[in-house]
Structure formats: C-alpha cells, structure tokens
C-alpha cells in the first residue's frame, strides 16, 4: 500500500489519499453529493485502484443510497477496506467511516449521532455549500429516504439514469 498523503477537499477538510490523481473524482463525489448530481458516482472508478480510507467509505456511501435490499451487502467490502486503512485516516475521516458502518449495520441512531457530531465539529462545509454531506446523510437516515437523484442500480451496479454504467 503506498504511503498516504494529506490533501484538502474543496471544503477545506483534510483528506487522506494514496494518489493525488484521485482528488478530481473525490471532488466529483463531494460536490455531486451536496448538489445531488449524478457525477457523484464517478468515484466508483477508483474503487479498485485507490485504497484510501475515504475513497472506500465514499464508495460504500454510494451503495447505501441505492434503493436495493443488497445495498448494505454491496457496501460492506468497501467498508472493510476503509476500516483496514483507517489508521492512516484523520479523526474526522475515522468518524465518517464509523457513521457509514453504523448505517450499513442498520444502527440508524448511532449513524445520526456520529453525523451530527461530525457536522458540529467540522462546520466549514455548511458555510461554503449551504449543507454538509454529513447532515445530508443524517437527514436521509432520519427520514428513510435512500434515493439519490440521477442514479440507480442496474444488475447490481450503481449507474446513472438511462445507462448501464
């Protein structure tokens, strides 16, 4: 595993990445997620090539937003990779991984609590984008809304609407 380096996402949050070339697709996820744009799924192209904890946790997040009974099962391999690399992650990244793991395990109360802590401790994205990824996830968990505009699952793969990949 290559040594991780610290970068910053577009919100100014520290981001642990194995490969700086992954940053544009991580940004597609982050900015696509807060604006509910299909470009968020572009991150899945890194699933096999970048073992960075947040790349893997974000891939798990995308799978959990699918309206599928297999969503949690599909997210678990990514969560296992994120957990395996968590020692290289920042405390904020480790809390995000824990929150997504709680969601995958069906512990909605824990997931909401962790996302709420995250939003309280790292409020900068809320000032810049009008909402945080963490609060968006917490809100969706609370309401049971797991749909994500512009994407769907086709044959077990997360896809953009109208396509197969």
Residues 129 and 137: their CA atoms lie apart, in Å, by 15
Q: What is the pTM for the complete model shown?
A: 0.74
The widest CA-to-CA distance across the chain, in whole angstroms, is: 39
Distance linking the first and last C-alpha atoms of the chain:
28
Percent of the chain past pLDDT 70, that is, above it, reads 72
Give the count of beta carbons closer than 10 Å to the beta carbon of residue 91.
Answer: 10
Comparing 34 with 3, the larger pLDDT belongs to: 34
Q: How much is the mean pLDDT over the chain?
A: 79
Token reading at 125:
């994205």
CA distances from 64 to 2, 79, 96, 163 (A): 28, 11, 14, 20
Query: Rounded to 10 degrees, what is the CA torsion of 101, 147, 63, 40?
Result: -110
pLDDT tens digit sequence for 26-79 = 999 989 888 888 999 999 999 999 999 999 999 999 999 986 899 999 999 999
Instruction: Give residues with Cβ within 8 angstroms of 140, minimum separation 6.
Output: 65, 146
Extents of the domains making up the chain = 5-160
* β-strand partners of 5: 17
Residue appearing with tokens 């968006």: 136
């Amino acid at each position: 595993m290559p040594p991780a380096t610290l970068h910053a996402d577009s919100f100014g949050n520290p981001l642990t990445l194995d490969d700086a070339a992954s940053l544009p697709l991580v940004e597609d996820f982050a900015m696509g997620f807060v604006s509910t744009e299909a470009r968020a799924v572009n991150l899945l192209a890194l699933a096999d090539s970048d073992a960075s904890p947040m790349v893997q946790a974000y891939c798990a997040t995308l799978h959990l937003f699918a309206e599928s009974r297999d969503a949690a099962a599909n997210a678990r391999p990514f969560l296992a990779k994120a957990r395996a690399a968590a020692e290289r992650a920042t405390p904020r990244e480790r809390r995000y991984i824990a929150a997504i793991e709680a969601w995958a395990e069906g512990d909605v109360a824990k997931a909401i609590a962790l996302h709420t802590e995250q939003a309280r401790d790292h409020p900068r994205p809320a000032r810049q984008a009008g909402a945080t990824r963490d609060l968006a996830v917490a809100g969706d968990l609370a309401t049971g809304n797991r749909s994500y505009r512009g994407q769907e699952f086709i044959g077990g793969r997360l896809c953009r609407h109208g396509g197969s990949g």
